[in-house]
Amino acid sequence: MCLAKPLRVGLLVTALVTALFPSDAAAKSTPRQRMHNRLLLAKAKAKRPPSTLVIRGNSAAKAALRTQNRALLQRHPEWFAMPLLAGDLHLQPVIEKAIRRLQAQLGKPYVWGGETPEEGFDCSGLIFYAFNPLLAAKLPRTANEMYHYRQALDVADNDLRRGDLLFFGIHSHDKADHVGVYLGNNRFIESPRTGEQIRISDLSDAFWQARFLGGKRILLNSTVRIPG
């Protein structure tokens, strides 16, 4: 049976009014319903596993990003430098004392075999002079002997910290024949070669990067002299 057009229009209007203006009973239930929905949503979020960072883009874009990050790491290893652990905090004054002894020699001449402020220093003689008064056992004298010193700790390039020894193979990649001390921010102090003076150099320089053998840490709880 077909309803007359006016009756159909009236029913539609009634339905629209009911939807826009619900009855008092329905209106009173709305806040409770909203609260119920919020509880359901909170429970669903609690069950959801934690999200992980996703790098979006194709494989070429991701590879480019990794290359960029590696370049930043090489230029700024101090951004990722290993901090002193809580148990090593007492080493900080020892490290700074060694650095002060080194910096006091800036501008003095390179002298092969030298290991005193009066005569000058070669590369390992400078470290021998600055570090030995702070160590329980003396360092060996030459750069290659220091490089193979068993009490020293190998340090990854991105873990270098102030006071670490840096070793280079200038004339051979099989032997450490030069050593300096890391100061932070890609800088290190060194006694370079005959005719030069003790100076601060840039580890990120291509010359040093091509000859860098690695870092060693000698100022450790197990090696420093215990004050008597």
* pLDDT tens digits, 53-69: 445 566 777 677 767 76
With respect to residue 27, please indicate whether it lies within any of the assigned structural domains: no
pTM summary value:
0.63
With respect to residue 13, please indicate whether it lies within any of the assigned structural domains: no
Residue of 36, 78, 123, 148 marked active site: 123
- The residue among 149, 157, 143, 158 whose CA lies nearest residue 219 is 149
Distance CA 68, CA 76 (A): 12
Distance CA 165, CA 172 (A): 18
Confidence of residue 70 (pLDDT cuts 50, 70, 90): low
Average pLDDT, integer, range 125-146: 96
What integer pLDDT is reported at residue 103 of this predicted model?
A: 97
Lowest mean pLDDT among 1-10, 104-113, 121-130, 151-160: 1-10
Distance CA 145, CA 14 (A): 97
What residue type is assigned to position 138 of the chain?
K
* pLDDT tens digits, 174-198: 899 999 999 999 999 999 999 999 9
Residue of 2, 78, 145, 178 marked active site: 178
CATH number, domain at 102?
3.90.1720.10
Annotated catalytic residue 2: no
pLDDT at 146 over 70: yes
Six-digit token string for 53: 């960072």
Residue of 148, 171, 190, 196 marked active site: 190
With respect to residue 228, please indicate whether it lies within any of the assigned structural domains: no
The boundaries of the domain holding residue 196 are 86-217
Q: What per-residue string of b and e applies to 115-154 under the rule 16 or more CB within 10 Å gives b?
A: beeeebbbbbbbbbbbbeebbeeebeebbbebbeeeebee
What integer pLDDT is reported at residue 135 of this predicted model?
A: 96
With respect to residue 211, please indicate whether it lies within any of the assigned structural domains: yes
Lowest mean pLDDT among 37-41, 112-116, 195-199, 222-226: 37-41
What's the domain count of the chain? 1
Annotated catalytic residue 36: no
Q: What per-residue string of b and e applies to 35-61 under the rule 16 or more CB within 10 Å gives b?
A: eeeeeeeeeeeeeeeeeeeeeeeeeee
Annotated catalytic residue 178: yes
Sequence-distant (6+) residues with CB within 8 A of 76 are: 186
With respect to residue 49, please indicate whether it lies within any of the assigned structural domains: no
* pLDDT tens digits, 73-88: 555 444 444 455 545 6
With respect to residue 121, please indicate whether it lies within any of the assigned structural domains: yes
Sequence-distant (6+) residues with CB within 8 A of 60 are: none
Average pLDDT, the chain: 80
With respect to residue 78, please indicate whether it lies within any of the assigned structural domains: no
